[in-house]
Amino acid sequence: MIKTVLSKTGEPIFHLRAGDASYVFSSFHGFLIHLYMGPAVADDDLEYLMVRVGHDSVVPRPADTSEYWFSCDIAPFEYPANQTGDYRPSAISVAHADGSTATALRYVSHEIVSGKPAADKYPAVYADENEADTLIITAKDPADGVTFRLYYTAMRDLPAVCRRVIIENTSDNAIDLERAYSASVDFAAVGEPMELLHLWGTWGRERTMERTPLLHGSLTVDSRRGASSHHHNPFAALVGKSTTETAGMAVGLSLIYSGNFDITCDTDPFGCTRLMAGINPTDFRWHLDPGESFVTPEAVFSISGEGLGKMSRTFHRLYRKNLCRGEWRDTIRPVLVNNWEATYFKFDDEKLLAIAKDAADAGIEMLVMDDGWFGQRNDDKSSLGDWFVNEEKIRGGLGKLVEGINALGLKFGIWFEPEMISPVSKLYEAHPEWCIHVEGRDKSIARNQYVLDMTREDVRDYLFEVMSGVLSSANIAYVKWDFNRNLTEAASATLAADRQGEMFHRYVLGLYDLLDRITTAFPKLLLEGCSSGGGRYDPAMLYYSPQYWTSDDTDAMERLNIQLGTSFVYPASSMSCHVSASPNHQTGRQTSFVTRGNVAMAGAFGYELDLTKLTDEEKELMSKQVDAYHRYYNVINQGDLYRLIMPADCVNGKIGHCAAWMYVSEDKSEALATFVVIRTSIHPVYFLKLQGLDPDAVYADDNGNEYCGSTLMNAGLNLTKNWKDGDSLVMHFVKK
């Protein structure tokens, strides 16, 4: 619901009601002023909240307001402009024909529509007239007439607000955008000190949660790698110092974008904190001739007054139902076995069929053939781009192999790394100019490969054709779309010298275009994203691929941090988690088959080891795990997640070193809790309090024990016993 009331200056105050949250801003002498974001408030005139004192004579005032106290340097803005008296980081900066970059923004008009206007071909949240309302603000720069359309969508049943901006060059001259963020909000200093929560990492250790106090100045999480990256996820949350999983203020900001992004959190001397997200202005400059427009990626706020758990559950519901699309959004995903850690590059049709045979016996539903099936790809030194089946390995061709796999009752999936080219490849011989490079400069190489110039239509046409050829040649149900290196020397032969600043963003748009063409041409295909593990695990990729390979680190103990970190934004249904070999290939750690299964059952479940080498006992356990996953599928993949114990919570020996989480079905009729002992201690005492249940209902576990919901949540379960390192327990509850 979106309401407007008139303020004392006779201008609109906008009150967006999203679920149980309010987002309020106004036009004040045409300036778009942020007033409030948090748990729902009444439709009062909140403009009194904007008054700030503390500016001094050196701070300029705008020429067109008479209020002596109003200064752009301290006013809380919705979309802060550049060089016009606000010295904090700006959200928009336009370089004009004369080279100046002063940019201003004044409200002109607004429109409210039911639903959410489609974002053309950009990945974005979608919602119909019953799910959301959208406010579109038109603002202009009074000096040059450039138009800014600010889109705000308030979800009706979720405390989530989506924002994006369309900048239209309605001036008479060409302009260049130097900064064009998706959203910005200025939070007033109210109550307790605030902290920034974000997800950092590296290869094999993605999305590690970190909370840090704010400083007077800027904190930034960003990527300049051409991909959203392993290193920082396009997400940050502003939280109160005392905010926990279950209590306190938490505003999450998630950017639906796969390229260079920036999230800046800037706190001024008056304690006002600006949180903004958008395309990274580093290496960015976008040219707009008169009449042309630029669309920013979409940013999503999840607003919680009840802690981090609720903030995450809002993201989960929104992304699961209103971002993921197509056949596989709701269809039960197959349990798969992937041959990467089973064979690496050393496999042939016989080996795959042998794995598939054991998979079929255990009830596994799909075999995925990973890297190494094409060109002369027997290691990572060649053949990317040559997407033609290597018939020395796959004897008789792909059709025959897939028929054999299908005959065993399994679907078949295949690996591609479409955006890459090996210097040793037929494609490189034919088109050396297709890889991203700067004429006259050395090309940096990573994993023996270069990146294709996805801004080029001819490159995308080639990829579409060659991939379509493979996908139509056999009964292929799934593609793992990998991306194993970041961009360097980013220039494109197709762009003029003064437009090279568009390269990084055009790369991402080219990627989206190819993803769109493939998913449109093959609507039944299940796409799984991957980028050396989770190096491009971002909301935009979920728009095309409802599941993502969470990390190349498949060690169950390491995965606890990675999966729980990922869960701050991303739903379980998007997290691909596999049981791999023990000792683990990345860490050498030994973990029981049971615990590897229990930890992998936190999302899209599968196996990634040589099934033919399993003992009979392990095979039996595997069948049981597959069966259990089928039974628990709905509560895991459609339920609400509650993080009960974060591994980091336990390091100081609070209750030993462990992790626990649970899923509760939306109607609270079913719950599944998982408890893992990472490192035990002498005589440990373990109590586990559950969350999210119906306090008045009686729940029975699979052993027939009955508990009241309030007992499970308030008194908890007593899990005290002599656990060993790496032990774990899954508990299933059904409402009676």
| Residues known to be catalytic | 482, 552
Binding test (CB under 6 A) with ligand GLA, winner from 532, 550, 586, 625: 532
The radius of gyration of the chain's CA atoms, rounded to the nearest angstrom, is: 27
The smaller minimum CB distance to ligand GLA, of residues 69 and 344, is found at 344
- CB-wise, 148 or 549, nearer to ligand GLA? 549
Closest to ligand GLA by CB, 67 vs 379, is: 379
Among 184, 484, 638, 665, binds ligand GLA (CB under 6 A): 484
Distance CA 558, CA 563 (A): 9
Candidates 528-536, 572-580, 651-659, 670-678: pick the segment binding ligand GLA (CB under 6 A): 528-536
CB of 191 to ligand GLA, least distance (A): 43
- Positions 570 through 599 that interact with ligand GLA (CB under 6 A): none
User: How many residues sit close enough to ligand GLA to count as binding (CB under 6 A)?
Assistant: 11
In the bound state with ligand GLA, the residue whose beta carbon lies nearer, of 294 and 374, is 374
In the complex with ligand GLA, the residue whose CB is nearer, 307 or 372, is 372
The 443-482 contact track toward ligand GLA, x by CB under 6 A, reads ---------------------------------------x
Minimal distance, residue 240 CB to ligand GLA, in Å: 37
- Long-range CB pairs of 689-692 (<8 Å, 24+ gap) are 689/644, 689/713, 689/714, 689/715, 689/716, 689/717, 690/642, 690/644, 690/662, 690/716, 690/717, 691/245, 691/246, 691/309, 691/642, 691/644, 691/662, 691/664, 692/640, 692/642, 692/662, 692/664, 692/668
Q: Choose which of 281, 307, 533, 639 interacts with ligand GLA (CB under 6 A).
A: 533
> For ligand GLA, which is the closer residue by CB, 532 or 573?
532
**Which residue, 371 or 453, has its beta carbon nearer to ligand GLA?**
371
Quick one: which segment of 10-18, 181-189, 526-534, 613-621 binds ligand GLA (CB under 6 A)? Answer: 526-534
| Closer residue to ligand GLA in complex, CB, 181/387 | 387
340 counts as binding ligand GLA under rule CB under 6 A: yes
Question: Please, what is the minimum distance in Å from the beta carbon of residue 387 to ligand GLA?
Answer: 14
Determine contact, residues 256/300, Cβ cutoff 8 Å.
Answer: yes
**Contact in structure between 507 and 487 (CB atoms under 8 Å):** yes
Find out whether 28 and 8 touch, Cβ atoms under 8 Å. no
Strands 92-95 and 31-39: unpaired
Q: Give the nearer residue to ligand GLA in terms of CB position, either 179 or 578.
A: 578
**Least CB distance from residue 377 to ligand GLA, whole Å?**
9
Rounded to a whole number of angstroms, the minimum distance from the CB of residue 341 to ligand GLA is 8
Least separation, in Å, of the C-beta of 621 and ligand GLA? Answer: 24
Q: How far apart are CA 151 and CA 295, in angstroms?
A: 11
| Omega cis (within 30) before 269 | no
Among residues 3, 25, 604, the alpha carbon closest in space to that of 301 is found at: 25
Find the binding residues for ligand GLA in span 357-416 (CB under 6 A): 370-371, 415
Cβ(237)–Cβ(214) below 8 Å: no
- DSSP state string for 556-576: HHHHHHHHHHHTTTS-GGGEE
- Cβ nearer to ligand GLA, comparing 415 with 478: 415
Q: Going by C-beta distance under 8 Å and a sequence separation of 6 or more, which residues neighbour residue 266? A: 88, 89, 217, 218, 219, 273, 274, 276
With CB atoms as reference, the residue minimizing the distance to ligand GLA is 371
Residue 610 CB, nearest approach to ligand GLA (Å): 15
Residue with tokens 């930034």: 220
Q: How far apart (Å, rounded) are the C-alpha atoms in residues 465 and 469?
A: 6
Q: Which pair of structure tokens corresponds to residue 191?
A: 């109550």
Task: Count CA within 13 A, CB hemisphere, residue 353.
Answer: 16
The Cα–Cα gap between 700 and 702 comes to 7
Closest CA to 298 of 40, 538, 642: 538
Which one, of 294, 228, 234, lies nearest residue 263 by Cα? 234
CB 726 within 8 A of CB 555: no
Distance (Å, whole) CA 290 – CA 268: 36
CA atoms within 13 A on the CB side of 437: 18
Q: How many CA atoms lie within 13 A of 405 on its CB side?
A: 32
Per DSSP, the chain holds a count of helices (H) and strands (E) of 13, 38
Stretch that binds ligand GLA, among 422-430, 530-538, 682-690, 711-719 (CB under 6 A): 530-538
Rounded to whole angstroms, how far apart are CA atoms 250 and 310? 9
| Cβ atoms within 10 Å of 230's Cβ, excluding its own | 26
User: In this complex, which beta carbon is closest to ligand GLA, that of residue 298 or of residue 370?
Assistant: 370
Cα 278-282-283 angle, rounded to 5 deg: 115
Tokens 């596989």, residue located: 328
Rounded to whole angstroms, the Cα distance separating 45 from 222 reads 36
Nearer to ligand GLA, 364 or 719 (CB): 364
Tokens for 209, please give them.
């949660």
- Give min distance, CB of 395 to ligand GLA, in A: 22
Residues 248/307, Cβ–Cβ less than 8 Å: yes
Specify the residue for token string 């004897």: 395
Question: Considering only 50-58, 231-239, 449-457, 525-533, which stretch makes contact with ligand GLA by CB under 6 A?
Answer: 525-533
| Residue (266 or 552) nearer to ligand GLA, CB | 552
What would the two tokens of residue 107 be? 């409200």
Q: Which whole-number Å values give the CA distances from 603 to 530, 573, 575, 597, in the listed order?
A: 15, 5, 5, 11
Residue 167 CB, nearest approach to ligand GLA (Å): 36
The footprint of ligand GLA (CB under 6 A) covers: 340, 370-371, 415, 482, 484, 530, 532-533, 549, 552
